[in-house]
Amino acid sequence: MANKTIGCALEVHKALGPGLLESACQECLFYKLKLKGINVEKQKPMLLIFEDVKLEIGYRIDLLVENKVIIEIKSVESLKDVHLAQTLTYMRLGGFKLGLLINFNVSLLKQGIKRVINGDL
């Protein structure tokens, strides 16, 4: 599923180029994935469970593909450790093993894609 998602992201980036807001990239990728018949949710809330308390504190996954792959979208000069930490946090909270951290603000999108795997889950 990650490869299909990356293919859609490449199509979006090829058509629109770098420089768009993250929200625009998210909407375009969401549209493209839906068009291809892929089950995708946007801005999916993530609960934080601490002891026996479920806390809704504003965590949201940009896109969740087929209820398996987290997509975290950025449009920044360069990806930072904090972006990776955010993706890993969402993966841990949701029990997901695969995430894609995609920075649309690059000349070649393949340079802005980071596959994140958490084998501890």
Q: Domains in the chain, please, with CATH? A: 2-117 (3.40.1350)
| Predicted confidence (pLDDT) per residue in 39-48, tens digit | 999 999 888 8
CA separation for the pair 13, 34 (Å, rounded): 17
Which of the four pLDDT bands, split at 50, 70 and 90, describes residue 15?
very high
For the chain, give the mean pLDDT.
93
Reduced to 3 states, what is the DSSP secondary structure of residue 97?
coil
- 112 neighbors 106 (Cβ within 8 angstroms): yes
Q: What is the distance between the alpha carbons of residues 10 and 13, in angstroms, rounded to a whole number?
A: 5
For residues 119 and 99, give the distance between their C-alpha atoms in angstroms, rounded to a whole number. Answer: 12
Query: Does 58 score more than 60 pLDDT?
Result: yes
pTM, full prediction? 0.91
In this predicted structure, what is the pLDDT of residue 120?
56
d(CA 109, CA 5): 13
